[in-house]
A and B are shown apart, each in its own frame.
Chain A
Amino acid sequence: MSVPAEPADARAEIHVRLERVGKTFPGRGRRAAPVVVLDDVSLEVRRGEVFGVIGSSGAGKSTLLRLINGLETPTSGRVYLGERELGALNERGRREARGDTGMIFQQFNLFRSRTVAGNVAYPLKVAGVGQPERDRRVARLLAFVGLLDRAHDHPERLSGGQKQRVGIARALATEPSLLLVDEATSALDPETTGEVLALLGQVNRELGVTIVIVSHELDVIRSLADRVAVLDVGRVVETGTVYDVFTRPRTTAAARLIGTDLRERPSPATLARLRSGPGGGRLVTVRVREGDGEGERAEERGGARPGLAHVFLAHQVAAEVVFGGIRELQGRPAGSLTFELSGADAAVDAALAALRADGVDVVEEPAGNA
């Protein structure tokens, strides 16, 4: 199956749009130079999708989210929520827009002076929802996040994962159509992280809430997001489906962030070990990616993918997998395999040429002097 770079429904409704957004903070301290935190950022988040933003610490991820709910105003450019431009609203209008946008935080930011139920009720109070309706909604939300029995506890009695579930319930209280998630799992252990991510996935699928999630953790983006933008010191250097960006980062900045994740090449030490083995063949690393090997010649073959093994066999090259692995990303295979190839040099060259002609990404590992 051939997969286009963008999901089929390219005309999907845009929920959040950033148009050439820049954000500069005046330097702290009197003579300090201004800090450019975001520079010419444009991106579009579709209604109903999970949009990830990945970037290292200080890249401007939190600032980006704060621009989307109007807690910060851009220095240049525009932010749209649906058709509405935030900059065209007054503070009151922006406050109302926030009722349709929930936000959850790395440090949970729960109100310690309120019970679990009180925390969830807060946005409803702000929105002027009356007591009986508020109680009903709080109960429903707490049931949704599985904390109904803790309604009257104060947050300090909860575990990190439970606190974040309260944070999620609070963010969903006013039934927003958009949820902004700022490093929601960075303070949690791996198991709890999985639970919280699963809950966010449920929020997206069952409630149809659009999610923008920022993180420096590849795992979080990989397991939750449909599409992703790579933020590198204030600039979006790449946007695409998680599958495309993770399996084939096109910029060095993206490759640096993601590169170590799926495109695993054997380290020099590993190569040395592989070469010391009895085989003595040439080592090549092949990226495994759906859609590769379906280049121009795919039609001649009736669209069938050649299969690596088949190509090697056809050229009378023996191929042994010595390193690497394949995993699933968005339900599609992704990974890399290092082969040791034995056969006549010319045959190996021909096999590699055939693969490359099919659009397969093949890298021959340098014949080290180990």
Chain B
Amino acid sequence: MHEFLDNLAVYREAIRQTLFIVSISVVAGGALGLVLGLVLYATRAGNLFANRAAFLIVNVLVNVVRPIPFVIFLTAIQPLMLHTIGTTIGTNAVTFALSLSAAFAISRIVEQNLLTVEPGVVEAARAAGARPISILLTVLIPEALGPLILGYTFIFVAVVDMSAQAGLFGGGGLGDFAITYGSQRYNWPIVYISVATIVVLVQAGQFLGSWLARRALRR
């Protein structure tokens, strides 16, 4: 146990890194995913901005990118990372890759939740003279808010999961801490403390998400 106390500063730093990676990825990736999801929904045949070409392109892109395992995805976009953020390792690099990866995952969830909104509701908004963009933002998103929050909660958990691999690319975080300070030194308390920390983090996120979703659904 004293090894853990000796490494308390490292542990704190690991938590900070994980929180940084996860929160930026959920917020930035979530925002980008929302846009992608809205594009997928809106350009679908018969919808507000029906556009076959745009839908096909985004749809194929999402289908191709989404299933790529995170480690491979991060490796594959290294040229892009060099171009945009100038590095391929470290916390920022991992956060960048994770944001993108989360965006593609969330885009489908957004699209599917928007598709569950009754088309009649959209028709009512159109009949009231609303502009399509305003219908997307002030009708569709509020109508699907409960399931959307649950979808984002689901993605938050997945992002925490993927963030554990950050250590592979020098990104630090709790996963890295558990391996380099824990299992590699046969220091099991450190492993379990890391596990417990992640469980608490996930539970807190899950609790918050469920609570917000319940409020949105008025249940």
Contacts and interface: CB of A to CB of B under 8 A. Distances in A.
Given A109-B118, A154-B218, A71 B127 contact: yes
Contact of B142 (A71, A114, A154, A170): A114
B143 A96 contact: no
Interface stretch (A99-107, A143-151, A234-242, A307-315): A99-107
A80 interface: no
Given A123-B129, A126-B128, A126-B129, A105 B145 contact: no
Contacts of A114: 142
B83 interface: no
Interface string B106-131: 00000000000010110111111111
B145 A113 contact: yes
A109 B218 contact: no
A105 B125 contact: no
B123 A111 contact: no
A107 B142 contact: no
A112 interface: yes
Interface string B133-149: 01000010011010000
A102 B126 CA distance: 11
A95 B127 contact: no
A111 B143 contact: yes
B18 to A, nearest CB: 34
Given A71-B123, A126-B134, A154-B218, A113 B142 contact: yes
A107 to B, nearest CB: 5
Interface size class of A (residues with CB under 8 A): 20 to 34
B143 A98 contact: no
Contacts of B143: 111-113
B125 A122 contact: yes
Interface in A89-145: 95-96, 98-99, 101-103, 105, 107, 109-114, 122-123, 126-127
B69 to A, nearest CB: 35
Given A112-B143, A113-B145, A103 B131 contact: no
Interface in B55-96: none
B126 A105 contact: no
Contacts of A123: 128-129
Interface in A145-199: 154, 156, 170-171, 173-174, 180
A69 interface: yes
A174 B128 CA distance: 9
Contacts of A122: 125, 128, 130
Nearest to A124: B128
Given A98-B129, A127-B129, A103 B124 contact: yes
Contacts of A127: 129
A22 to B, nearest CB: 20
Contacts of B145: 113
Contacts of B124: 103, 105, 109-111, 170
A111 B129 contact: no
A126 B130 contact: yes
Nearest to A66: B123
Contacts of A113: 139, 142-143, 145, 216
A126 B120 CA distance: 18
A123 B120 CA distance: 15
Contacts of A96: 129
A311 B129 CA distance: 61
A264 to B, nearest CB: 37
A27 to B, nearest CB: 12
B159 to A, nearest CB: 27
Interface string A47-61: 000000000000000
A111 B121 CA distance: 6
A109 B121 contact: yes
A127 B129 CA distance: 8
Contacts of B216: 113
A114 B218 CA distance: 11
A173 B130 CA distance: 14
A80 B30 CA distance: 45
A205 B124 CA distance: 24
A154 B127 CA distance: 21
Contacts of A102: 127
Contacts of B142: 111, 113-114
Contact of B118 (A99, A107, A173): A107
Interface string B143-162: 10100000000000000000
Contact of A109 (B120, B130, B131, B134): B120
Determine which residue in B121, B128, B139 has the highest number of CB atoms from chain A within 10 A of its CB, and name it. Answer: B128
Contacts of B126: 71, 98
Contacts of B118: 107, 109
Across the A-B interface, give the 8 residue pairs with the lowest CB-CB distance, nearest first.
A109-B120, A113-B142, A123-B128, A98-B129, A109-B124, A103-B127, A95-B129, A126-B130
Given A105-B123, A113-B145, 11 more contacts: A69-B127, A95-B131, A98-B126, A98-B128, A99-B128, A99-B129, A109-B124, A114-B142, A156-B218, A174-B128, A174-B129
28 contacts: A69-B127, A71-B127, A95-B129, A96-B129, A99-B129, A103-B124, A103-B127, A105-B120, A105-B124, A107-B118, A109-B118, A109-B120, A109-B121, A109-B123, A110-B121, A111-B124, A111-B139, A113-B142, A113-B145, A114-B142, A122-B128, A122-B130, A126-B130, A126-B134, A154-B218, A174-B128, A174-B129, A180-B127
